[in-house]
Amino acid sequence: MKYLITGAAGFIGSNLADHLLDEGHEVVGWDDFSTGQERFVENASRHKNYQLIRGNNLDLQGLKSAMKDCEQVFHFAANADVRFGLEHPSKDVEQNILATFHVLEAMRCNDIRTIVFASTGSVYGEASVIPTPEDAPFPIQTSLYGASKLAGEGLIEAYCEGYGFRGLIFRFVSILGERYTHGHVFDFCRQLLDHPDRLEVLGDGNQRKSYLYVADCIAAVLHTVRFNVGREGQSDIYNLGGRQGWIGDNPFIFLDTTKIQKTGWHAKVSIREGVVRTVRWLQENRWVFTRLVS
Amino acid sequence: MKYLITGAAGFIGSNLADHLLDEGHEVVGWDDFSTGQERFVENASRHKNYQLIRGNNLDLQGLKSAMKDCEQVFHFAANADVRFGLEHPSKDVEQNILATFHVLEAMRCNDIRTIVFASTGSVYGEASVIPTPEDAPFPIQTSLYGASKLAGEGLIEAYCEGYGFRGLIFRFVSILGERYTHGHVFDFCRQLLDHPDRLEVLGDGNQRKSYLYVADCIAAVLHTVRFNVGREGQSDIYNLGGRQGWIGDNPFIFLDTTKIQKTGWHAKVSIREGVVRTVRWLQENRWVFTRLVS
């Protein structure tokens, strides 16, 4: 198969590209490197089946050309700058809503029908049901990021119904592993590298949070895509991520992942082992602390 | 008060403008007349408190200027061309999603915090709960129109949370009355004017459908806005429209309107009387059959 991945130089996108290449597939990596990292595509770029194209999702013509001969699209590019969304609201509208629309239009133009979309548990807002299932009560959006991802979901669903697309929407939370570049583990590592004798932890230190290891995340996505093969005209939505959150994590997101587990997929790497691998990678790649803000 | 109404030359927007002027308020009417009608703003335009500005919601600068000194915005402009949405998907994205974003930005720039938004029962997709309450299970979108309106809702909600806006979102279905220009009653009238001896009705003729009279709709909206006064930073969502649909009306939408009734608002005009008034208006305004497609 030949796949196009948007956000191919990002945390999950670059891991996915490497995985698909390992499986023997062809991959077109699409990224504008606004937050993606050159080093994350170094391995893939040496592969004969990999083609890297630098472009932004606002460039519809570029996207159309990039998708030529591809069979499926993983739309993982996004403005994931949740915290500063309010400082530049057009970023979420452009990079998450318009971008998704352009991806869909470029697919339609190339007669590609299957889209896998990285959404977020943030679409549940302040969920009234916890753990939150995919069919939780119709939520009220509490962030521009969540609202823009929800808009992307809606467009994909409408393309499924209207144009016979097949959509797989994953509402992610709390992924970690190699190339992980923001979140609690990242912050803790940075602090301990800065001042090994002292760690500042918000709250009382008794919070628990769980993560899903990125290789397990990718296995879950690919398992689910293949599990649902051939369901054209339909969108399927799955929660994916940490199975245990903690009150005080604001916003509190704790997703019910029963549905994706029912497809037969289960995580292989424990949270402990996932954290160990992440920390090891961060220690070996200290450049990320200077290049990236968490 | 000084209000801005987008879609001020449309069915509901123009009735709202007349009503607010009658109440003694100032109104800025904003419309690009792509579907709005000159004749619908004739009365208002003679009023000293009315200012008509021709402009499209894609023109952010124009919107910003138009909103100067306004205190509330009724955002009723939309691409309501549900049936042909698939022929030009960018129309829904531009006129419903981007337009709403521009309205919000123009408000933010003018420090206007209250937005009343005309959404649609279509956001429930194929609802699993009927009659459908506002907090029905998280729906899957089935039309570009619904998806684009949902995106607008999400943006408004995020602005409420992030910028202290106050949002009132009304999910409309089945409004009729003076200046009503599409739907079953419109089709029946057109047929009977064309061939008074024959009426083609889809289905077996036993379907029932209920409508809300436009003056009642506007009373409901204004009642709810005033009922909820001062709830900044919050978005409130209300179903509003016909209380009885019929299976076979595709898509089947039958909203639970308990929530808005609990504010103390109740319809004054019966469905029968609403239909009579609509038909009378259509008979007196036959130009709409030649100017508009249903």
What is the value of pTM for the model shown? 0.94
Q: Does residue B196 contact residue B144 with C-beta atoms inside 8 Å?
A: no
Structure confidence at residue A60 (pLDDT): 98
Query: Among A27-41, B5-19, B80-94, B260-274, which stretch is predicted with the lowest mean pLDDT?
Result: B80-94
Q: pLDDT for A162-214, tens place per residue?
A: 999 999 999 998 899 999 988 888 989 999 989 999 999 877 777 767 789 99
> Does the distance separating the beta carbons of A163 and B86 come in below 8 Å?
yes
Question: In terms of CA atoms, which chain B residue is nearest residue A138?
Answer: B138
Q: pLDDT for B148-197, tens place per residue?
A: 999 999 999 999 999 999 999 999 988 999 999 888 889 899 999 899 99
> Does the distance separating the beta carbons of B147 and A162 come in below 8 Å?
no
Distance CA B207, CA B210 (A): 10
Residues 77-96 of A with CB under 8 A from B: 85-86, 89-90, 93
Mean pLDDT computed over A113-134: 94
The shortest C-alpha distance from B85 to chain A (Å) reads: 9
B165 neighbourhood in chain A, CB within 8 Å:
none
**What's chain A's length in residues?**
294
H or E element in which residue B212 lies: strand B212-213
The shortest C-alpha distance from B145 to chain A (Å) reads: 9
Distance CA A256, CA A20 (A): 28
- Residue of A124, A139, A161 lying closest to B142 (CB–CB): A161
Q: Is B146 on the interface with A (CB under 8 A)?
A: yes
Q: Is B233 on the interface with A (CB under 8 A)?
A: no
Distance CA A79, CA A86 (A): 12
Q: Could you tell me which residues come within 8 angstroms of residue A174 by beta carbon, excluding any fewer than 6 positions away?
A: A183, A209, A210, A211, A212, A241, A242, A245
End-to-end CA distance of chain B: 35
**Higher pLDDT residue, B2 or A243?**
B2
The residue whose two tokens read 């999603």 is B97
The shortest C-alpha distance from B90 to chain A (Å) reads: 8
- Taking the domains of chain B in order of start, what are their residue ranges? 2-175+213-264
Report the percentage of chain A scoring pLDDT > 90: 77
> Does the distance separating the beta carbons of A147 and B155 come in below 8 Å?
yes
**Please, what is the average pLDDT of chain B?**
91
A140 neighbourhood in chain B, CB within 8 Å:
157, 235, 237
ipTM: 0.94
Mean pLDDT computed over A150-169: 97
Report the percentage of chain B scoring pLDDT > 90: 77
Confidence of residue B292 (pLDDT cuts 50, 70, 90): low
- Measuring CA to CA, which residue among A106, A103, A94, A107 is closest to residue A148? A94
Q: Could you tell me which residues come within 8 angstroms of residue B19 by beta carbon, excluding any fewer than 6 positions away?
A: B215, B218, B222
Residues 2-61 of B with CB under 8 A from A: none
Q: Is A164 on the interface with B (CB under 8 A)?
A: no
- Single out the catalytic residue among B3, B50, B124, B145: B145
> Does the distance separating the beta carbons of A135 and B142 come in below 8 Å?
no
The shortest C-alpha distance from A141 to chain B (Å) reads: 5
The residue whose two tokens read 């930005």 is B105
Structure confidence at residue B1 (pLDDT): 95
Structure confidence at residue A232 (pLDDT): 79
B180 is known as an active-site residue: no
A143 neighbourhood in chain B, CB within 8 Å:
158, 161-162
Confidence of residue B80 (pLDDT cuts 50, 70, 90): confident
Question: In terms of CA atoms, which chain B residue is nearest residue A102?
Answer: B90
Backbone angles phi, psi at A168, to 5 degrees: -120, 115
CATH (residue range B2-175+213-264): 3.40.50.720
Backbone angles phi, psi at A292, to 5 degrees: -125, 145
- Residue of B125, B154, B161 lying closest to A151 (CB–CB): B154
B105 neighbourhood in chain A, CB within 8 Å:
89-90
> Does the distance separating the beta carbons of B85 and A101 come in below 8 Å?
no
Judged against a pLDDT cut of 50, whether residue A270 lies above it is answered with: yes
Structure confidence at residue B183 (pLDDT): 83
Distance CA B121, CA B169 (A): 11
Fold of A2-173+212-263: Rossmann fold (3.40.50)
Structure confidence at residue A248 (pLDDT): 46
Question: In terms of CA atoms, which chain B residue is nearest residue A134?
Answer: B138
B157 neighbourhood in chain A, CB within 8 Å:
125, 140-142, 147
- Single out the catalytic residue among A50, A145, A180, A238: A145
Question: In terms of CA atoms, which chain B residue is nearest residue A105?
Answer: B89
Considering only CA atoms, give the Rg of chain B: 18
Q: Could you tell me which residues come within 8 angstroms of residue A209 by beta carbon, excluding any fewer than 6 positions away?
A: A174, A184, A242, A244, A245, A246, A249
B154 neighbourhood in chain A, CB within 8 Å:
141, 146-148, 150-151
> Does the distance separating the beta carbons of B158 and A142 come in below 8 Å?
yes
> Does the distance separating the beta carbons of B157 and A141 come in below 8 Å?
yes
Question: In terms of CA atoms, which chain A residue is nearest residue B138?
Answer: A138
A85 neighbourhood in chain B, CB within 8 Å:
158, 162
A119 neighbourhood in chain B, CB within 8 Å:
none
Q: pLDDT for A32-77, tens place per residue?
A: 999 999 999 999 999 999 999 999 999 999 999 999 999 999 999 9
